[in-house]
Amino acid sequence: MNGPDAVSAVAVVGTGLMAGLFFGWAVSVVPGTRLVDDHSYVQIMQQINRAIVNPLFVIPFVGTPLLLIAAAVVQWRAGTAELWRGWSQLPSCTSAA
């Protein structure tokens, strides 16, 4: 695996990790917080916000968007990214026949 592909692979894994976190949050924490009163909700959210600020969360949360940008730049510089090909064909796909 060459450098550009490695950067892209790590960016994809980071994106998957963050998507899993957001999905898990949406299907478990959010429904649970709907069942408590307002005061308990505020306490719960404050505790969650304190607990989630740790390297296991912050590094993927901040690093994944940076890696995605880096992957795009590296692929573009390597000449393997056709950034405008899809966009140039978009109007023909969306126009009425």
Q: Worst-scoring range by mean pLDDT, 28-32, 41-45, 55-59, 89-93?
A: 89-93
Domain that holds residue 73: 3-94
Calpha distance 39→20 (Å, rounded): 28
pLDDT band (50, 70, 90) for residue 34: very high
Mean pLDDT of the 20-29 span:
95
* More confident position, 21 or 77: 21
Put simply, whether the predicted model's pTM sits higher than 0.75 gets the answer: no
Domain count, the chain: 1
What are the structure tokens assigned to 91, written together? 């109007």
DSSP-based three-state secondary structure for 36 = coil
CA angle, residues 46, 27, 13, in degrees to nearest 5: 90
The residue with tokens 């968007």 is 65
- Which pLDDT score, from 0 to 100, does residue 31 have? 94
